[in-house]
Every structure is written in structure tokens, then in C-alpha cells.
Structure 1
């Protein structure tokens, strides 16, 4: 009897284990549905049932189709707004062209009348010289002089109207060209800097397919990000002395396509690194070419506003690209998803590249004098003490700048015991708040006294807010921290190009910006792994507070830079006054 009982107990043991596995699978499926359909009452009611039932798949498919329809409607509304703006600008240009043609026709008529009157006057003078003139010649000539004076005044007025019409037409074309460049730079940022924060979606599936460790597959993402910043240096060495902005952007779009496409064919982790390096170099160089072209084409007072709008593409890419990558990976495998992503990136960057043509400046708005710009362009940027301070600020700042986004998810799950969707919501809040700050970047810079002040203040605030992350205690405090962090990081990267053009001029901006991004890349390459090792050994609190402290301490170099720049301006003012005195 005891043998029978023991055998019966042995046969009943797998049933609770199977029930536990089904419960765990259901819990994972519920977490996935909550992540895909947040705050959805239909899905929530469906998950409350003990059994999903046969109609569950149909309901979920309907909710997914509704989300796709909503996304398609938003894209259609944006396209309609863009078409309306283009149509309005086209009608305005046509009206200016019509007014210009009318003014030209009026000028031709007046010129013909003046020619006829001058011919008649010359004939009368000829008759008078030959003694055939009458006594009324003098009175006739006086009337002719008054008529000529009136005709000259009318001709001058018409020429002024023609010049005004030409100016209006030129301004309309320039405004339309600026809008196109901002839209092209926005699209460029979506597909070049958006993957910096969203390429990690591919890492788990690549890890499983290639059978490598998390450390090895994470190195793919960090290598690609570092190559992007190094690609900016390549673009800075080429623009504008060897190649134009549009040419570099087009060639680098092809490089990015080749690298991403090659990544989809690798069978070993070692062959993935050359592919992501090629893709990163192409993405970084294309981004710098578009950004510098936009800055070269706009006035200094509008740079912060337009660059802020263009860099909003980074935030939009951070929000949309993960969904795009997940959809492709679920519909296909990661290799075909990567190939489709490579094609989409090539088409977006290739379509934007022709809009980055910069005309030869006749009286372009350049922050530095032409002689100084040529000297700065021909010399080594590292010989300028101001730029050395700037580069050190970039290196030290970005040593800790990317640490909070890198450790946020693990910190939320390990220290705060929050589910994965909570960390995803925190990333979304960061992206939305950074987008809001960049949309208002022009107004913020104008209100605070210039881009340099806003950049320095936001860098200090980023360090302070970073130090506050370890003191979050629940989901609500983490979301509040994410909002504050997103508002602070928005202007830091967006204003780098604006500050560099203000300090060193637009002529040398490609080279200076490229070398500056080398410091950003080196800080990113070294900072995140070091912070991870510190967090494993001494805890998250010490690692994150140290990172925030480095971001704040880096502003010391900005203070030194401001002192050196002020001394340089004072010396130039004294030299200019001495030259003026010598001329007198």
C-alpha cells in the first residue's frame, strides 16, 4: 500500500509544475500586452478573465489595427499640412513673379518713351544749330526738360518697385529653401541620431541568433555610436575644402546603407564590428553635413530656433524607431528587418542630401571675420586654447552624460523593483520632454541672453538632476525625475553647433564640430563601461552621483573658455582702434 501511494505521488508531481509554468507564461504575456497597449480598457478587461477565449486574438488584432490607423492618420495630417505650406509658398512666389514681370514691362515702356523723347530733342537741337529753328525752340526745350525730369522720376519709382518685387521674391525663395533644409535636417536626425537611443532593440535577437554574451552584443551598439561621432570628424575634414555638403551627405548615405545591409548577413560577432563601424561613420558624417549646411544658410539670430526644430528629429526617432524596429522584427526575422531598415535609412538620407547645397556666400552671415575664418580653417583647431577648453568640456561631460540612460532600466528593475514597462515609460517621458525643450529652443535662447548661457546652464542642471536619480523611491518619483532630465538634456547637444559657430565662425565649423564630436565619442566609449563596473562593485548610487558630478565639473572648462574668449575680443578691439588711429 505504501508503494502504491509513493508511485501515485511521483506521478502527480509534474502537474503543479506545469500549472506554474502556464501561470508564468500567462504573466509574461500579460506584461507584453500591457507594454504594447498601455492604459487600454479593452485589453485590461480581456486580461482579467481566467481564460482568454477564442475571440481574444480577434480583439487584439482589432486594437492593433486601430493603432496602425491612428498612426496613418497622423502621418496623413502632417503630409497635408506640409502640402498646404508648400502650396502657399508657391502661390506667393508666383504672385511675386507676376509683379516682377509687370514692373519689367512698365520699365521697358518708359525706356521706349524716354528714347523717343531724347531722339526728338536731339532733332530739335540739330535744327537749331543749322539755323532752321524757330523762335519757340527755347520754350519747347524747356517743356522737354520738365517732361524728362518727370519721366526720370517715374522711371526711378518703377525701378524701386521692381527692386522691391525682386527682394520679396528672393526672400520668399529663401524662406522656402530654409523650410526645406529644416525638414531635410529633421529627417536626417531621425535616421542618424535616432538609432543612438533605439538600436538596442535589435541586440536581444542578435544575441540569441549569434549565440554570444550580453557584453559582446552590447559592444556592437557602443561601437556604432562611437563610429558615428568619429564619422563627424571625417566630414569635417572634407567639408567644404574638398567636397560639398550635399555630396558628403549623399556618399555617406550609401555608406550607411552598405554597413547596415552587411550587418544583416554576418554569421559571426567579429564580422559585425566592421559593418557597424561603416554604418556609424556614414550616419555621423551625413548628420554633420546636414547640420552644418543648415547653419551656413541661416542668420545668426535664427540659428537656435531652426537648429532646435531640426534636432527634434532625434527625439522623434527615439520615440518612433523602437516601434518600427519591433514591428519589422516581429513580422520578419531580425536580418530582413535590418535590410528594410538599411533601405529606409538610405532613401531618407538620400532624399535629404540634395537639399543640403550651400550657395557661395556673397555677404553671408559669418560670426568671425573672413581673415580669421581662413586662418582658423587652415590651422590646427587644437592650437586654439579656447577650443582645447571646449574639447575637454565635451570629453568630461559626455563621460557621464550617457550613464543615466544606460543604467536607468537596470536601476529601475534592480533597485526600485519595477517592471520592465515602467522603465520603458520613463524613456518615453525623457524623449517627449526633450522634444518639448527643443521646440522652444529659440525662445529660450532669446530669453536667457544667448545660446552659450543656455548650454552652460543646462549642462549644470543635467549634472544636478543626474545626481538625484539614486534617490527615487517609486514609479511616480522616477517619472518626475525622467521629465526633469528630459527637459534639461534637450538643449545640450542641440546647441553645440550653434555655440561653435558663434565662437569660431561658420567657415571653420565643419572641422571644429568634427573634432568636438571626437571628444563626445571618446567620453561615451569610456564613460558607460566604467560606470557599469563601478555600479557592479560599489553600487548604483556611487556610479550615478559620480557621473553627475563629472558633468557639472566639466563646466569649469566653459568658464575658462569664456574668460579666454573675452580677452580675445578685447585684444581685437584694441588692435582695430589702433589701426583706425594710424589711418587718421
Structure 2
């Protein structure tokens, strides 16, 4: 096996984790959260409804969901670094093309291709990259790396807003297209490939190479916990992406200013960030499955406050949703790795991401559609409360798989 984590110093763990953070700041921030800063300007220029614009997100998420299992298999076979580089190049190209859109169909086509970009260089790729290179402090490293999805929501809007105000949304897209190319260069310099000497087994076997129970894809999909994680993922990702992608417009409809709404979005992601960092470390100390249920209950209660829809409940609700989701997001990825291992993580994680992506896309679009039909976001958020309650029931079926034996490492 390639030189691995036998000398796993704290600085090495931190360096790998921070690189994962940077990657997710760019891919998730520019594809999902940060791009919503341009929504009002685009709607104003073209006169579309919210659901017409948000259909782009459904296309993006569903396409990524279909693509991920296949790209996951490619990652397992050829390594994560090549897919990350391709994803970053494609992200830069699509942002540049965004500045030339003239119709909704142009946006839909761009987001179809953005699905390939975020699939190749997004959360799944980052989780695999970090998990392969960190053994002893894997929970902490994943928590730090996955914080990038929240930092993207904090940093990218603060980059986009002044560009939007000073140059207009078309030029702003062109300026931001440079960012993924810079990260690509950093990735090429600092990430070295890793290869394993043995493949995952069909049995639940603890592997000394990775320190994890390693299951093959075929064995994973036969386990009840795979399907419990998948369906909980559908409902949880529907809920949070429905909230995130519509929060700016929801606050504007409550008569908050553009500055207030954009700052609120950034603060919301800061709250999620704190929870992601904390849950990764806490999951190494206490039972991650129990923590998962606590975070899910907190998120559900916060969404009840959003569904009530009064200005006084906005911040208490956002705090609860942010703390709940931040922990859940880290725990979803941590539990997948600790349950099934890293050797088939591309295929297994890609398959689970299919369900999460379908839920995410539906949440982004359907939340806006229901708002168009009812005149407010209240009904949309009550639906989310129901879905999170179902996910809480499913969470009791998410349990660890016990290993039967330990494999020998092939030298």
C-alpha cells in the first residue's frame, strides 16, 4: 500500500481536513448556496416565477443523483484526485457561461452540466479523499472538511454581493469563475494518490488497512441500514435544501432588506458550521447514532418555528435548524464511512447520494412551487416538518454493522 497514515500527526490531519474545507467552500458554495444571491436580480431581469428559476436546482440535484453512483465507481477505480480536477474545471466553465444566459433553458443546460462538476468535486469526493488519508482522527477531520459546505454559504455570498452591486450579475459570474481554477492548482500540488492492497469483501469484516468494517457494494445494498440511511437522506435533504435555497426569498417576502437577508443567510451557515465542527469531534466520544437522533429532533423543532412564519421566531428557528442540520450533515457522512468502509465508498456513497440528491432537488423546487401556489412559504415548511418527523422514525433503524472477523493486511 502507498505511504499511509502511520505517521498521522495533528498537522497532517488538519492540513488534509482544511484542503477538504476549501474544496467544499467552492463546489457547494458556488453551486447551491452562494448562487442564490443572484436570484432576485435574475428574476427581475427575466420576469420568471420562483419555481421557473428553482427548476434549475431540481435538474441539478436529480442529474447529480443519477450521475453519482457511476462517478463513484470511477473514483473507486481510478482515484479521487482526477475526478476533483475535472469537476473544478467544469465548474469554472459553467460559471463563465452563466454570464451569457438569455433564457431559462440556458440555465437548465448549465445546471445539468454543473451536476457533473459537483459530483466529481463535491461532498462525496471530499469525504472519500479525507477518509482515505485519515484513520485515527477521522471524525474530527470529516467535521472540519464538511464545514466547507457551510463556509461556502458564508464566504461565497460575501464575495458575490459586492461583485453584484458594483458590476452586475453577469460580470460577477465571470469574476467568480476564476476561483475553482485556483483551487484546482492547490489540489494538484498537495494531494497524492492512495491505493489499497485489498478490495472490500462481501462479509462484514474489519480491515486493518483502514481500521473500518469494509463491505462491498453488493453486500451494502442487501443490508437494512443502507436503505434506512437512504430514505432518511431523502427526507432530511429535501428539508434542508428546501429551506436553504428559499430562505433569502422568504426573508425578502417578510419585508427584510436585501442586506439583512443576505447577512442572515451567511449567519445561518455560520451556525451550521459550528454544529458540523462540533459533531465530528463529539461523534468520536459518544454514540454517533444517538447524536444523530438528537440533531434530527432539534432540526424538526426549528422548522416548526419557520412554518409558523412570524418575524419574532425567525432567529430562534434558524438557530435550531442550523445546529440540528450541521450535526446531521456530518453524521450522515461519518455513519456511512464507519458502517460500510472506504474501499467501496464511491459506489456506496454514490448510491446513497442518489436518494439524497433526489430529495434535495425536490426540496428546492417544490418548496418554491408550493409558495407560488399558496402565496407564502408556510405550507412548504409544514410539509418539511412532516417529512422530518418521518425521518426521525426511520433513524431508529440506522444501526452499526458488526464485523465477524479481521482481515490480514497484504504487504
TM-score (norm 2): 0.83
Give the length in aligned residue pairs.
Answer: 390
Q: Residue 184 of structure 1: SS of its match in structure 2?
A: helix
Residue 364 (structure 1) aligned with residue 209 (structure 2): yes
Shift of 1:334: 2.8
- As a proportion of its length, which structure holds more helix? 1
Does residue 549 (structure 1) correspond to residue 386 (structure 2)? The answer is yes
Deviations for 1:54-113, whole angstroms, at most 9, x for unmatched residues?
A: xxxxxxxxxxxxxxxxxxxxxxxxxxxxxxxxxxxxxxxxxxxxxxxxxxxxxxxxxxxx
Verify: 1:280 aligned to 2:118, yes or no: no
Output one character per residue of 1:466-510: Cα deviation in whole Å (capped at 9) or x when no partner.
1122346434x3222222221111111122221111111111211
1:166-181 correspondence to structure 2 within 5 Å: 171=7, 175-181=10-16
When structure 1 is superposed on structure 2, of 326-335 and 503-512 the one drifting more is 326-335
Q: Please tell me whether residue 271 in structure 1 is matched to residue 106 in structure 2.
A: yes
**Corresponding position of 1:516:** 352
Structure 2 CA distance for partners of 1:458 and 1:358, relative to 1, 3 Å = farther
Residue 440 (str. 1) matches residue 275 (str. 2): no
**Shift in Å at residue 329 of structure 1?**
2.7
Aligned twin of 1:335: 170
SS, match of residue 267 in structure 1 = coil
- 1:460 aligns to what? 297
- For 1:505 and 1:518, the matched residues in 2 are separated by 18
Summarize the Cα distance change of 1:408–1:208 in structure 2 as closer, same or farther, 3 Å threshold: closer
Kindly state the Cα deviation for residue 294 of structure 1 after the two structures are TM-superposed.
0.5
How is 1:112-131 mapped onto 2 (pairs within 5 angstroms)? Answer: none
Name the residue aligned to 1:494. 330
| Residue of 318, 321, 328 corresponding to 1:485 | 321
Contact kept? 2:94, 2:114, Cα under 8 Å: yes
CA change 1:524–1:360 in 2 (3 A) is: closer
SS in 2 for 1:368: strand
Give the RMSD, CA atoms, in angstroms. 3.0
Q: Which of these two proteins has the greater Rg computed from alpha carbons?
A: 1
Q: Which runs of 5+ in 2 are unaligned?
A: 198-207, 406-411
The answer on 1:469 being equivalent to 2:314 is no
Q: Distance in 1 between matches of 2:166 and 2:367?
A: 36
- Show CA shifts across 1:376-424 (max 9, x none): 14x275433321222111112223333333444454455x555454444
Single out whichever of 197-206 and 290-299 deviates more from structure 2.
Answer: 197-206
Q: Which has the higher contact order (CA 8 A, sep 6+)?
A: 2
- 2:228 is the alignment partner of 1:389: yes
Give the drift of 1:340: 2.1
Contact 1:295 1:498 in 2 (8 A): no
Aligned counterparts of 1:511 and 1:354: Cα–Cα separation in 2: 27
Q: How high is the TM-score relative to the length of structure 1?
A: 0.60
- Aligned partners of 2:244 and 2:126: how far apart in 1? 26
